[in-house]
Structure 1
Amino acid sequence: MRRTHRFSLHRWPLAVTVTGALLLSGCASIPTSGPVHQADPPVSSTPDASTEPAVAGPEADMTPEEVVQGFLAAGQGQDDDYAVARQYLTTDLAETWSPYERTVVFSGAAGIQEGLEENQVRVSVDERATIDDHGVMKRREAGSSEEMDVELTEVDGQWRISSVPDGVLVPASNLDDLYQPHNLYFLGKDGKTVVPDPRWFPDRQGVSTSIIRALLNGPAPYLEGSVDSAFPEGTELAGPSVPVQDGTAEVSLDVPDYSAVDVVGNRNMYSQVSLTLLALGNVENVNLSAGGGEADLGADDQSPLSPDPVTVPSRQIGLDGDRLVYLQGGQTQAVDSVSDALVGQAPQNPAMNADMTEFAALVDDGSTLVTFTDAEPEAVERFTGEDLSAPSMDPNGWVWVGTGDGQVRAADSGTAGTQAEDVDAPWLDGRAVRSLKISRDGSRALIVVSDGESAQVLISGVQRDDDGRPQSLNTPYLVDSGEGDLMMGDAAWISETQFVATSVTDGGTAPRLYDISGRYRELPYVDDGVTNVAGGNGEREIFVESGDELRLLTGESWSPQSDQIASTAFAG
């Protein structure tokens, strides 16, 4: 006779197994509300199975609640393809359940209550993020929840799970023990740069295979159409894995319509594969084969694309009163031919291109965007609006601003007689654009938006036409968010993979150093607030403006640089 079971509501802390033997320690810097973060930027490492927590299998005469609780906790043990977690499943389900399909990152305790059907359990958690089978993380706003129904049946007098959605649940406090971010590399539209795309994978042996499969699948949704991939659609691994032996990764591909003499295509594929894998601590060399043989990469002087970062000049542009000046090493210098271009126009937030020949700024107390060049120093009005963000100049020669009512505009700095054009971004939905900075590869926009009650830090892919003209911004990737006393402020790139953003409270400002995966560490607190952030090349060139004083990050403090120069910015 089939036995039925009725359930009462419980809140089960997944940090402990049903035996009480496993305490899942976590990083205290990961909050229990809001998006998922970690304190330190990732470092290259070789997965170490010894760091994985031990998990317990089922015991005799467990109740259905205990079986579900044990299964959820065992989902954090990745050894032998989640062998312990499969012990809680029926034989048929154990063969088909896919733990890699989806990961739900949650905070707090899991709620277990009676489901709508007989012998069914409903599990509910406070969701912080999801990670799909290609490592794409989607952070959730505070208040998001996830529910799943679990069905149980008796097998030889013991309760076992007969139906459960694919995937695992991971406490946010334990995320950094089980998963690590890895940058996949795609090709910039200019054909010269590579663009990183952060993904999250279980920190275990064989991660090289997961990484390459994700790379072959293409960029994350927020980068679609903004970057290219050298791999033709349908490209797959020719074997079951990407083995790594004695520091060498062997990548063998099955490429549709493969041409062995396409050296450029081979080099681009090799660039993506090698840059992606060489970040792993156990990979020193990469061999690429396709079509049954080693890929021809051409002559030695035809090297693959370089991983070297796109840098900007160490010289900043700024304002001394209403005159434009350069600032470098504590010394100022007038900007030749254009130093007086903005005199008498109440200027702020000047910007320049990497060649320091094209310039932009806001005038009329921030309501009007103007552009000018060293050859034509007279400022030309390009757009007028309310609450404009500081201009950003991209490598294609376009000047970008956002508005307080959720618009994005871009002006061709080389065509002075035209107005700034609308860049489609319907997902802004009227939210104010507080900061907008284009990455140095020109493929991504770093954006801070606010609706008055909350603010978000976002990264969006830039869609352009064949001439490089901006067309739209993709639905973005959420990096961070804040509410109330944790509103987000200005942001600035310091490399292709890192940026600085500010978290604003009533008592001051807490700048943070982020990597693009969303990890961050706190920089020294600024008691009197931050009105401007400037980022150069790496951590040694981070400046903030606070209390009418320009300050430079030096170790664990902010060193005063000038009380005369304001609104500084590096190129970009």
Structure 2
Amino acid sequence: MFTGVLILSSCAAIPRNSTVQKIEAESDQGESQPFRFDAQGPTEGADARRIVEGFVEAGRSVLEDYALSREFMTPELAADWRGNTRTLIYEAMNVLTGADSNRYTVQLEISGEVDAMGVYTQEPEHSTRAVDVELTKVDDQWRISKAPDGIMLESSSFSKIFAPQTIYFYDASYQYLVPDVRWFTSGAGTTTSMVEALLAGPAPYLQNAVVSAFSPASTLVRSAVPVRDGTATVDLSAESISEASDHAKQLMQQQLDKTLTPLSSVSVVRILQDETEVTLGAPAANFVPALVNPSTPDTLIAISNESLVYVKGRSIIPVGGVPDISAFHPRNPAMSAVGNRYAFLNGKRTQLMTISESGSVSVAAEGGALIRPSIDVAGWTWTADNAAEHPLLVVPEDVAGQGEARPISVSWLEDTKVSSLAISRDGSRALIVAEEQNESKVYVAGIVRDADGVPRGLTDDPMEIFPDVPVSTAVWDSDRSIIVAELSATEQVAAEQITFEHGSERLGLLLGMSGITSGVGDRRPVYAETSEELYTRVGNSWHALDDYAKDVSYPG
């Protein structure tokens, strides 16, 4: 089942007279001060329903391993129950009486779920979840005797108790650090949670698409990463590091540094092995620091008068060194982020053409309904043929040496129409808009490659993103944010920027928006186009350029 794709029955029947109390907004406490609220345990003589409601409310207290929640349980359940294994985030809640007087169901309208490793699974609007509990009397007081592990939090409470943090893994070449956004409770244990999650491996949508410097056997000596005077100390077991080369240790250090130092409390990370300082050794002469959110080149590719042109700032410049391609009636061009290679579709979308570094043009793939190509950092050109059984197609940089275009089988794309495909700047993730039964969905999936870097597939459990606007296209805006829109030549179009931390912002309306593109990195303006004008985004307004080009796209 897809990450974030669990669709449950409508919650239209959930009563809206929930007794849940909302917490008013408070200032950010930072990772060193966990959110606190005035909490009460069970009152003397409380009926069974009130015990259940109190148990739900007590989930807002994470102190002492959810000690308050355990007060509502029998001693046996309190000893076994684990609060940090699952957090259900709800918008509405109601407690329903079960078939027996000691059984209740907590009916929730949920917006998401966080697992023990901080992986957030967003749910479609109006999804529901039922949590069954049983009660018994202890010393003539009702107590919960059976309940699943985990807590339930109203969404406004969740945003005060949990905070998004980014842990990093490497792409297969170790040239880039790929973000993996997780959610952890704020407080002194944040660093511990982040390191334990990093050692446990990537989120499902990135598994087998990214790598870690740490072996699967890596563990902490004890479940603690203390921070004192700005120094975080990571004490690893002997199995974690004893056989590692100096280069591997340096990669470990880099991975931990990039993960922990964004925290305001951490400026230095020390690695220990069973309480002994680890010697990293001198970096090799060819050691190059991995890049985080590397910038896309600020020169875009576009079409003007059936020729390739560059768009840079407010200027449009013809591309030199390429032959006349007007006979193909080119559209939807792409450009490599490294080097001078190009790709485009012919006017009928039946051929994918590539232009090599030497300037030679060749037919790289043919199909019935190709979409705009995307060129990854490893030199592979991606497109989709919606007339084929397996729509995704990849073309190597060197067709003569690496073979021709090949399809990629992705089970969760079967019976869909792929309308948009964009590869991340780090080459590890694919951003896809796919239409199924007249409904468009947005996915981010890891790219699985073999030892030679050849794309072999996408991860089986993609992350689904739920925009607030209709969608037909999606582009990368940073290594952890995207822009989506439903393009239209005649209607007002509202694009939306969405972050992996679940923030969003509507871009200004533009009548007849037929294309949009954004570049990763600082000061990369968003461009949008209509049939007659090319615009850049300034603030939240669109400003037209003096000259016009169509099918504008950043490299990648």
**Global fold match (TM > 0.5):** yes
Distance (Å, rounded) in 2 between the aligned partners of 1:283 and 1:390: 43
What secondary structure sits across from 1:140 in the alignment?
A: strand
Indicate yes or no: 2:245 matched with 1:262: yes
Distance (Å, rounded) in 2 between the aligned partners of 1:447 and 1:14: 41
Offset at residue 441 of structure 1 (A): 1.1
Distance (Å, rounded) in 1 between the aligned partners of 2:19 and 2:333: 52
What secondary structure sits across from 1:332 in the alignment?
A: strand
Indicate yes or no: 2:269 matched with 1:286: yes
What secondary structure sits across from 1:499 in the alignment?
A: strand
Among 137, 142, 160, which residue is 1:177 paired with? Answer: 160
| Aligned twin of 2:3 | none
| Aligned twin of 1:465 | 450
Among 399, 408, 417, which residue is 1:423 paired with? Answer: 408
Alignment of 1:159-170 (within 5 A): 159-170=142-153
| Aligned twin of 1:407 | 391
Please say which of residues 460-469 and 355-364 is displaced more in the overlay: 355-364
Alignment of 1:125-524 (within 5 A): 125-256=108-239, 258-259=241-242, 262-299=245-282, 305-338=289-322, 340=324, 342-386=325-369, 388-404=370-386, 407-415=391-399, 419-481=404-466, 486-502=469-485, 508-524=492-508
Alignment of 1:522-561 (within 5 A): 522-538=506-522, 540-561=524-545
Q: Per-residue CA shift, 1:365-389, capped at 9, x if unaligned?
A: 3332111224143242412122x32
Structure 2: which amino acid aligns with 1:393?
Answer: I
Equivalent residues of 1:260, 1:296 under 8 A apart: no
Consecutive unaligned residues in structure 1, runs of 5 or more: 1-8, 17-22, 28-42
What secondary structure sits across from 1:271 in the alignment?
A: helix
Distance (Å, rounded) in 1 between the aligned partners of 2:156 and 2:252: 37
- Return closer, same or farther for 1:438/1:363 CA change in 2, 3 Å cut-off: same
Distance (Å, rounded) in 2 between the aligned partners of 1:129 and 1:200: 12
Offset at residue 306 of structure 1 (A): 3.6
Among 98, 102, 109, which residue is 2:86 paired with? Answer: 102
Distance (Å, rounded) in 1 between the aligned partners of 2:440 and 2:25: 27
Distance (Å, rounded) in 1 between the aligned partners of 2:184 and 2:477: 25
Distance (Å, rounded) in 1 between the aligned partners of 2:342 and 2:43: 70
Equivalent residues of 1:371, 1:416 under 8 A apart: no
Structure 2: which amino acid aligns with 1:421?
Answer: R
Distance (Å, rounded) in 1 between the aligned partners of 2:240 and 2:434: 45
Count matched residues: 537
- Return closer, same or farther for 1:105/1:182 CA change in 2, 3 Å cut-off: same
Q: Per-residue CA shift, 1:184-213, capped at 9, x if unaligned?
A: 111210122211111111123211111111
Distance (Å, rounded) in 2 between the aligned partners of 1:173 and 1:364: 50
Distance (Å, rounded) in 1 between the aligned partners of 2:124 and 2:25: 21
Offset at residue 448 of structure 1 (A): 1.4
Equivalent residues of 1:54, 1:77 under 8 A apart: no
- Return closer, same or farther for 1:266/1:291 CA change in 2, 3 Å cut-off: farther
Q: Per-residue CA shift, 1:48-70, capped at 9, x if unaligned?
A: 33x44433322222211111011
Q: Per-residue CA shift, 1:59-94, capped at 9, x if unaligned?
A: 222211111011101112222322222221122222
| Aligned twin of 1:3 | none
What secondary structure sits across from 1:204 in the alignment?
A: coil
What secondary structure sits across from 1:227 in the alignment?
A: coil
Distance (Å, rounded) in 2 between the aligned partners of 1:15 and 1:366: 55
- Return closer, same or farther for 1:370/1:255 CA change in 2, 3 Å cut-off: farther
Equivalent residues of 1:10, 1:112 under 8 A apart: no
Distance (Å, rounded) in 1 between the aligned partners of 2:543 and 2:257: 40
Offset at residue 476 of structure 1 (A): 4.2
Offset at residue 286 of structure 1 (A): 0.7
What secondary structure sits across from 2:55 in the alignment?
A: helix
Q: Per-residue CA shift, 1:95-116, capped at 9, x if unaligned?
A: 2221101111222x22322224
Distance (Å, rounded) in 1 between the aligned partners of 2:380 and 2:168: 25
Structure 2: which amino acid aligns with 1:412?
Answer: P
What secondary structure sits across from 2:258 in the alignment?
A: helix
Distance (Å, rounded) in 1 between the aligned partners of 2:61 and 2:411: 42
Structure 2: which amino acid aligns with 1:436?
Answer: L
Among 49, 58, 65, which residue is 1:81 paired with? Answer: 65
Please say which of residues 489-498 and 394-403 is displaced more in the overlay: 489-498
Please say which of residues 129-138 and 537-546 is displaced more in the overlay: 537-546
Among 12, 18, 41, which residue is 1:57 paired with? Answer: 41
Q: Per-residue CA shift, 1:159-189, capped at 9, x if unaligned?
A: 1111110001122343321211111111210
Structure 2: which amino acid aligns with 1:555?
Answer: G
Consecutive unaligned residues in structure 2, runs of 5 or more: 1-13
| Aligned twin of 1:13 | 18
Offset at residue 509 of structure 1 (A): 2.3
Offset at residue 479 of structure 1 (A): 4.2
- Return closer, same or farther for 1:308/1:184 CA change in 2, 3 Å cut-off: closer
- Return closer, same or farther for 1:404/1:52 CA change in 2, 3 Å cut-off: farther
Distance (Å, rounded) in 2 between the aligned partners of 1:145 and 1:87: 27
Equivalent residues of 1:448, 1:488 under 8 A apart: yes
| Aligned twin of 1:33 | none
Equivalent residues of 2:86, 2:113 under 8 A apart: yes
What secondary structure sits across from 1:92 in the alignment?
A: helix
Distance (Å, rounded) in 1 between the aligned partners of 2:38 and 2:371: 50
What secondary structure sits across from 2:64 in the alignment?
A: helix
- Return closer, same or farther for 1:522/1:337 CA change in 2, 3 Å cut-off: same
TM-score, normalised by the number of residues in structure 2: 0.90
Structure 1: which amino acid aligns with 2:281?
Answer: G
TM-score, normalised by the number of residues in structure 1: 0.87
- Return closer, same or farther for 1:377/1:531 CA change in 2, 3 Å cut-off: same
Q: Per-residue CA shift, 1:476-501, capped at 9, x if unaligned?
A: 43342358xx3223222233223222
Equivalent residues of 1:242, 1:249 under 8 A apart: yes
Equivalent residues of 1:494, 1:500 under 8 A apart: yes
What secondary structure sits across from 1:537 in the alignment?
A: coil
Offset at residue 398 of structure 1 (A): 0.6
Structure 1: which amino acid aligns with 2:77?
Answer: L
Over the residues paired in the alignment, what is the CA RMSD in angstroms? 2.6
Offset at residue 357 of structure 1 (A): 1.6
Offset at residue 345 of structure 1 (A): 2.0
Aligned-residue identity in percent: 30
- Return closer, same or farther for 1:517/1:220 CA change in 2, 3 Å cut-off: same
